[in-house]
Structure 1
Amino acid sequence: MATVAARFSVSVFAALGTVVGYLGTEVSSHSMFERLLWPSRFYNTTNVGSLIAISCIMTMGGPVHRTAVQALETLTLSGLWKGKFQGDMLGTIFYRDTGRRYVVRNPDGTQSEERQVRNDFWIGVMRLITYHARLDEGSRDNSMRDDEESLDRLQPKIRDYQQVLILKLSRSTTSVIDGDSPVNYSDSGPLTARHVAGVATSESISCFFGLVTGTVFRSGFTLWYIFPLVFKLIALAGHVRRTPIKRPAKKGKEGEPPAPVEQILCEVVDTSQGFFLIEGPTELVLQFFHRYGYPIRGRRGLRGDRAREVISMCTVIAYAFLYPLGLVAFVFAPIGPQIVWLIYQIVAVTAMHFYHYGGGDHIGTTEESVACDLSERQRVQLVDRTGERIVAELESVMVSSAAEGRAVTEDRVKKILESHAL
């Protein structure tokens, strides 16, 4: 009788585990592995709310094997397994390719051909900036505010609220921190306590269920719950170095007055989230569109960049086996640990749904932190590990239709280009 009950328990466990695994693989996100390989960007926060969200929805002990295999296939097709300095990381989990494009607006009224955005840091920041939807009071007749009939006539003309965002980038001329401007540390520098805290916090759920299994059942299967955090810490220790903000090249001879700084105005082609303009020194703006944050691959040796790449890719392989091997291993576990493991997997899959559909890929990131500061104060400083200080200033205009947004954008483009000509 006991044998029949045991077989029935194993069959039910295997069936439920398979169903949970199927549901989880359908919703697991590639950005979870981007987080794994770029901790300084994706765990760059000290905000309590963000840390709570990280602890609730970012465990990777669930069924992420399908996404891991897809990520490994991308790494293989990109040639990264071939050897040192082989392959291209753009378009992989090392360095995503968003597919976004931009154009350069020229002073003569023309614009360049569409160019590829390799790094969309500031575009990501601008997409995260949110405001309360409201009409610009200065553009409406004040006599219509309290006139219900007039508002009813106006309402059909409002298709959707959008924003025209103008971001001005510049280099700070002083090493003194401006008290009126929040400071954010860039994501291309060395790891700090905030990054380690974010990674450790992300596996709070797995550690909790491991503690339950260990204290209640005193089972050796407790060790399985340690693996998700161990793999993350290994990836953290082997993280690749990233290209920092480059300093401007010195022009002209010593003693001569500095040459005027060439300015550029770029417009993001995609207007689904609003109309985005980015202006500033050419050498500064373009590096954020190009290779800022791209993995550095020059250092050799056991602690060199190639070793870091291999360690990072091996952690992805480990996650590809974590759930399948866990399902097989817990078949031989007592019924108590089996139930705890299934409950954990259900919680993990639920968390993955919240992550996928609740904007989890932005929680705790550098972009989110900068976007929050810009939304509140319209000015922020970004400090790089090289000591470079970038000042970002934001201007925003709320519009009620795409046509109005285009008109406002063209008006701002004209004014900005005129100021560059002075």
Structure 2
Amino acid sequence: MTDVIGAIGAVIGYLGAEVAEPTLFDRLLWPQRYYNNASVYDVLVLLILMPMGGPLHRAALQTLDQFRENGLYWGRCRGHMLNSAFFHKQNSTYSIISNDTSGNIVKEARNGLWVQVLKMVNPARVFPSVLANTSSARPDLEGRPRDHSKRLRSRHTIKYLKLRPIFESVKGSVKVSEEQPLSFTILLGILVSELSAIGIALFVGLWRGSSWLAVFFCIPLIFKLFGLALSVRRERLTPEAVKLHPPAVPAADMKQSPGPSTSLFEIHDGTNGFMLIESSPDLLLPFFRHYGHPIRESKVDRLREIWGIVLVYGFTVYFPAGLLALLWMDDPSRYIWLGYQTYTIVAMHIVRLIGLEGSGRTESGIAEHLQSGKQVCFSSGGVNILAELSIEEIESFEAGKTRVRQILQSHVWGQEHDMTTTTKPSF
């Protein structure tokens, strides 16, 4: 019987290792970002689908391979954090369109927070019914009746995000703070994500009287808590970095910084519709460069990096250790362990197939508020940014490109443009 259970455990380990995503270790190394949203929906997703007690050894090895390829083993300030679990890289670029530039400047968006926000905005929440928006009374972009002989193949959205600095909270806006080193929301997210393991551990400890197995089930939670306590420090915004200075007049008379003229940033992604951001370069470019990047100034910072790498390595041996521990378990405990592994594999399948890996993230919380028509006040390092989102729905890709071209041209020439928005008819 022991041989059969061991064989079943090996098969479960193989199946689970194939479905586990390395992005799980982004959560381990950056808990301040990935557990910073405590909406009811995200809490439920974390509770049911986000335990890390399954077979993650293959995903852990892939993460360690990336550390090695990036040169993070070489020493303090050696190698590159970008495109590793410490600082994930997005496959997006951006172009800057402004009155004082003769052409587009195309660069990588790196870990841009606002780009991820736009990616997480769900058009179905803004335009819930496709059929409701295809009535014959609705004109096309030029105001002409629609040609219903053309088949509708897909819908596209133009997401227009407007950012501006403020010095006081705007009435009616939702306050969203940056990722703090430690907060109740982050701690709650970590505990909730491993609540299933905690329940199993209590059951095994009290009913089976196996204290060592109860502790074994809680090891992923212990790893997460150590990861939170010793996580790397990260770069934040500062008023000096964004060249933002309080106005000379009283705040009651002037809540918004005059600042420099704004530029229009076109985000090139290819799979998330058309995305535009209007902001001053000094305010937005830090998010495309170093915002959130690990600080690597001291030996203590290097020790934090090493500790993070060690935690990832711990998950390479956690599941194999569980297989080995089957030799010392009685049959009921073996069934419990195999059942929990099966549960975690099913959860990982759901997360991967539906695309729920972003649940609990800071960007997810901002996107939820923006797509519901609310303004968001994002606070970081003494800098407050007011974000507004407008969305227009387009019924063909070519029409979307034409509409974006119109918006870009109107911005360059300083003209007003009109969009269907989630907050008001036009800017």
Name which of 172, 190, 194 aligns with 1:199. Answer: 190
Over 3 Å counting, the alpha-carbon distance change for 1:362 and 1:144 in structure 2 is closer
Of residues 141, 159, 164, the one that matches 2:153 is: 159
1:331 shift after superposition: 2.1
TM-score, length-normalised on structure 2?
0.86
Structure 2 equivalent of residue 289 of structure 1 = 288
Q: How far did residue 358 of structure 1 move? A: 2.2
Partner of 2:343: 347
The percentage of counterpart residues that share the same residue type is 29
- Inter-CA distance 94–25: structure 2 relative to 1 (3 Å threshold): same
Deviation of 1:159 after TM superposition, in Å, equals 2.4
Query: Please, what TM-score do these two structures have when normalized by structure 1?
Result: 0.87
> In the aligned structure 1, how far is the partner of 2:367 from the partner of 2:83?
24
8 Å CA contact 2:82, 2:89 repeated in 1: yes
Q: Is the Cα contact below 8 Å between 1:181 and 1:381 reproduced in 2? A: yes
- Correspondence for 2:333 among 337, 343, 350: 337
SS at match of 1:246: coil
Distance 1:138 1:223, change over 3 A: closer
Task: Give secondary structure in 2 for the equivalent of 1:26.
Answer: helix
The CA RMSD measured in Å over matched residues stands at 2.8
Q: Aligned-pair distance for 1:210? A: 1.4
Structure 2: segments with no counterpart, 5+ residues? 249-256, 417-427
Find the counterpart in structure 2 of residue 181 from structure 1: 173
Conservation of the 8 A alpha-carbon contact between 1:169 and 1:392 = yes
Gaps of at least 5 residues in structure 1 are 1-8
Answering whether residue 22 of structure 2 is matched by residue 30 of structure 1, we say: yes
User: In the superposition, relative to structure 1, how do residues 259 and 51 fare at CA in structure 2: closer, same or farther (>3 Å)?
Assistant: closer
CA contact (8 A) 2:165 2:384 kept: yes
Q: Is 2:371 the partner of 1:375?
A: yes
Distance 1:93 1:324 in 2: 22
Q: Residue 215 of structure 1 aligns with which residue?
A: 206
Checking the alignment, whether the CA contact within 8 Å between 2:174 and 2:374 is kept in structure 1 is: no
Q: Does the aligned pair in 2 maintain the 1:378–1:395 contact within 8 Å?
A: no
Q: Give the conservation status (yes or no) of the 8 Å contact 1:33–1:93.
A: yes
How many residues are paired up?
398
SS in 2 for 1:389: strand
Return the offset for 1:76.
1.3
- Note closer, same or farther for the CA distance 1:353–1:136 as it changes in structure 2 (3 Å cut): closer
Query: Deviation string for 1:220-243 (max 9, x for gaps)?
Result: 322211211111111111111111
Q: Does 1:124 align with 2:119?
A: no
Could you tell me which amino acid in structure 1 is paired with residue 75 of structure 2?
G
Give me the whole-angstrom Cα distance separating, in 1, the residues matched to 2:208 and 2:258: 73
Q: Deviations over 1:289-342 (max 9, x none)?
A: 111111111134xxx211211111111011111000111012221111111000
- Aligned partner of 2:398 in structure 1 is 403
Preserved CA contact (<8 Å) 2:156 2:273: yes
Which of 181, 184, 202 is matched with 1:190 structurally?
Answer: 181
Cα distance, 1:420 vs structure 2: 8.5
Q: Report SS of the residue matched to 1:156.
A: coil
CA gap of 1:392–1:140, structure 2 versus 1, over 3 A, is: same
Aligned equivalent of 2:225: 233
* Corresponding position: 1:279 with 2:278: yes
Query: Does the aligned pair in 1 maintain the 2:9–2:338 contact within 8 Å?
Result: yes
